[in-house]
């Protein structure tokens, strides 16, 4: 039996605790970790920190906690929708805090138009071409989403418009025929209820939450962030930073792009599903779907070779050993970049989980530490956040690894 401290520690490695946290809670990103974990990491850093870099920003947990501590940040994120969420939760919130009355008034106006929609079915609005995404929604739901989209497009103030777009994206999955259970998939009949499809209700709820947080917490965001590139391996920063706190893609096949396809389409970051594979293949090779003939892996690290060879013998899909070799090659390129952008004696904190394929355990933490060492990062501390058993009873864990850079 785990005690309450252990349970809390385990939860801190997931997004769950963020659901109660102002601003962090606006968009639920299951692949993220919690602000509590990152605040703890900041508190135990052995150095003073004025600037940080987050190479895999996701929903922006690290840059937002940094901004709440008054620390400026730079970030990269391959998914343009997630980059939008990160920027909005920090930079737009800061803009909103300087124009609070105006923003709150605009959001209140939007709410009253939506309330009108609830009673007046004959409202004029534009019709959109959802490029094949119609199949993920009931017709009535999509019609109501189009009304909300049209209202948002007519907001003149760019700050209020960005916030309203976040609110729309936050209800994209809930109101669809899909559900997130690890990955995004069609929901079974008993997994949705009658309220799930109430677009106006969910949108108004989200707008209320955002308005409340803007009113009460926008001043807590005391520093800004800068989106420097989509790809971590290609980041260029205006100066060296003191620290990196991040969680890279795990070697477990999560398709971060496909999991947000509804949001990507609703906010016009993609046209159709045809745009997804290219976006996905630009990211770190962490799933068999990212193994493609377009990309060759120049070399496999000596430390990784024994695992690749074992997988070549037993894997049920021949892409698995290629993926494992490619993952560590990609992560090496990220670490090379981190060595360039972190100052001497700076700190690098990494949240990572290990994996298994066909009964072959891949000690991702150990292999990453060996590759980090090649790039000047010395492991000075590590902590296990939680453990779990895979379907074949292998013990897997999520850890935080803490390194110091010696240039």
Ligand X SMILES: C[S@@+](CC[C@H](N)C(=O)[O-])C[C@H]1O[C@@H](n2cnc3c(N)ncnc32)[C@H](O)[C@@H]1O
Q: Which residues bind ligand X (CB under 6 A)?
A: 29, 31-33, 55-56, 58-59, 61, 76-79, 82, 231-233, 247, 249, 256, 283-284
User: What's the min distance (Å) between Cβ of 104 and ligand X?
Assistant: 27
**CB of 178 or CB of 264, closer to ligand X:** 264
User: What's the min distance (Å) between Cβ of 29 and ligand X?
Assistant: 5
Helix axes 61-68, 35-43, angle to 10 degrees: 50
**CB of 56 or CB of 377, closer to ligand X:** 56
User: What's the min distance (Å) between Cβ of 371 and ligand X?
Assistant: 16
Left if phi > 0, otherwise alpha if psi is -120 to 50, otherwise beta: which for 228? alpha
**CB of 31 or CB of 354, closer to ligand X:** 31
Location of structure tokens 């901004």: 67
**CB of 6 or CB of 231, closer to ligand X:** 231
Phi, psi dihedral angles at 20 (to 5 degrees):
-100, -5
Q: Are 12 and 351 in contact (CB under 8 A)?
A: no
Find the length of the chain.
Answer: 407
Query: Could you tell me which residues are beta bridge partners of residue 362?
Result: 355
Smallest Cα–Cα separation from 276: which of 29, 287, 171? Answer: 287
User: What's the min distance (Å) between Cβ of 337 and ligand X?
Assistant: 10
**CB of 13 or CB of 321, closer to ligand X:** 13
**CB of 60 or CB of 376, closer to ligand X:** 60
Q: Are 204 and 116 in contact (CB under 8 A)?
A: no
What whole-number distance in Å separates Cα of residue 199 and Cα of residue 366?
A: 46
Q: Which residues contact 76 (CB under 8 A, 6 or more apart)?
A: 54, 55, 56, 57, 227, 228, 229, 230, 231, 232, 234, 235
**CB of 80 or CB of 100, closer to ligand X:** 80
User: What's the min distance (Å) between Cβ of 254 and ligand X?
Assistant: 8
User: What's the min distance (Å) between Cβ of 276 and ligand X?
Assistant: 12
**CB of 22 or CB of 107, closer to ligand X:** 22
CA-to-CA dists, residue 3 to 8, 9, 119, 128, 384, angstroms: 9, 10, 51, 52, 15
User: What's the min distance (Å) between Cβ of 55 and ligand X?
Assistant: 6
User: What's the min distance (Å) between Cβ of 158 and ligand X?
Assistant: 24
Which pair of tokens denotes residue 24? 């962090």
What whole-number distance in Å separates Cα of residue 221 and Cα of residue 33?
A: 19
User: What's the min distance (Å) between Cβ of 31 and ligand X?
Assistant: 5
User: H or E stretch including 351?
Assistant: strand 342-353
Smallest Cα–Cα separation from 76: which of 325, 265, 341? Answer: 341
Q: Are 402 and 382 in contact (CB under 8 A)?
A: yes
**CB of 75 or CB of 137, closer to ligand X:** 75
**CB of 167 or CB of 264, closer to ligand X:** 264
What whole-number distance in Å separates Cα of residue 120 and Cα of residue 109?
A: 16
CA-to-CA dists, residue 344 to 22, 303, 347, angstroms: 35, 26, 9
User: What's the min distance (Å) between Cβ of 333 and ligand X?
Assistant: 9
């Amino acid at each position: 039996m785990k005690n309450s401290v252990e349970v809390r520690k385990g939860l801190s490695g997931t997004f769950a605790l963020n659901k109660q946290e102002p601003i962090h809670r606006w968009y639920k990103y299951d692949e993220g970790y919690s602000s509590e974990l990152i605040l703890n990491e900041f508190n135990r850093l052995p150095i003073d920190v004025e600037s940080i870099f987050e190479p895999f920003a996701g929903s922006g947990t690290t840059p937002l906690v940094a901004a709440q501590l008054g620390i400026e940040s730079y970030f990269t994120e391959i998914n343009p929708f997630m980059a939008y969420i990160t920027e909005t939760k920090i930079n737009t919130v800061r803009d909103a805090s300087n124009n609070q009355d105006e923003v709150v008034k605009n959001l209140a106006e939007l709410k009253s138009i939506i309330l009108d929609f609830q009673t007046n079915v004959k409202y004029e609005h534009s019709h959109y071409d959802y490029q094949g995404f119609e199949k993920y929604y009931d017709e009535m739901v999509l019609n109501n989403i189009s009304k909300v989209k049209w209202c948002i497009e007519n907001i003149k103030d760019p700050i209020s418009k960005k916030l309203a777009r976040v609110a729309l994206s936050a209800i994209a999955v809930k109101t669809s025929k899909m559900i997130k259970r690890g990955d995004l998939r069609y929901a079974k009949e008993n997994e949705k209820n009658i309220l799930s499809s109430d677009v106006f209700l969910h949108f108004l709820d989200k707008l209320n939450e955002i308005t409340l947080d803007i009113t009460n917490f926008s001043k807590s965001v005391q520093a800004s962030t800068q989106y420097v590139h989509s790809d971590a391996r290609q980041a260029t920063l205006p100066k060296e930073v003191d620290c990196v706190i991040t969680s890279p893609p795990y070697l477990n096949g999560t398709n971060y792009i496909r999991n947000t396809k509804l949001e990507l389409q609703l906010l016009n970051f993609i046209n159709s599903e045809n745009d997804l594979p290219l976006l996905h293949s630009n990211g770190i090779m962490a799933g068999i779907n990212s193994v493609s003939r377009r990309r060759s892996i120049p070399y496999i690290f000596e430390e990784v070779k024994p695992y690749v060879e074992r997988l070549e013998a037993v894997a049920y899909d021949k892409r698995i050993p290629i993926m494992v070799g490619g993952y560590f090659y990609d992560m090496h390129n990220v670490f090379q970049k981190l060595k360039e952008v972190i100052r001497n004696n700076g700190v690098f904190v990494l949240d990572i989980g290990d994996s298994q394929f066909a009964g072959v355990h891949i000690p991702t933490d150990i292999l990453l530490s060996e590759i980090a060492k090649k790039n000047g990062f010395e492991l000075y501390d590590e902590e296990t956040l939680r453990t779990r058993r895979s379907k074949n009873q292998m013990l897997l864990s999520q850890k935080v690894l803490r390194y110091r850079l010696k240039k």
